Structure 1
């Protein structure tokens, strides 16, 4: 499935998605804690890759005190984010070809944004994350944690599980070193994972 296909799938359900998940307050407190803790260790600009309706970008922007660029393949999400959150810059784009200058970011947030990419396409996206990060930059990835590469039915479109070990193996050739990884099982939902990696070159 291409980025255009994923964007169109989310466009079709954008209003429903925003109503259910479009604010930080509707997200799990542990997700918010993880993202806030990570961003405090990031210097400079943050790229929210797969920003959806923009709520995490807004959190990261800290009321306009931090430069944040949100990128998403859904035109409806980008439009809604621009209307709802004035501080970040929101642009329509493909995670495999980010409209961001090389070496210009101190951090990349990819919060469940690679889940709809077939496993064969994920290395190119991770390479883009490495390209836009400055040396020493930090990546925070969120994902559904299970057998890496296994497909499952998602409410919007087909999605894929990952594991921290499998992602670490894909990140290493791009110069990333995994700093930490964690997973949790909340009641009634799929097992969730996240990892932080530093670009070592």
Structure 2
């Protein structure tokens, strides 16, 4: 019964997963293109484009590992390894974004102490997942730290959306909504 349910869930989930991953890679390339295009203008928010590019690229790769580990690998050790790598990549993506937030243009908009603490915890979490993983403790601490980092980044984005206007405001708002939808899908699906 469970095997049949897993197969039917996989059949429904696979097209949505592929679509989401392709879309995320396209967004990563688009944001990287915009970053390169406006790089010489020395606009403070330009680093935000780089942060988004990294987040979407690393997030899509993480999502790929999580789905493969959850649905397609039948060896329990290998499946756990794929999931640990996926969560580590997601932590790494959040860490990269938080480190970009520590750059000069954003220091007035963030609480740098909180960002530094969450960044250190994210780094420790990555080391734990890849090198020091303890099965009874599991993924919970890493997922909690990732959730805290992700929520802080979403908080920063909402703050940034409130401070902007016009085209920048609408694009940031659309990106924020897209991220929330992606995160909901990622947590429900994997």
TM-score (norm 2): 0.28
Higher helix content, 1 or 2: 2
TM-score (norm 1): 0.27
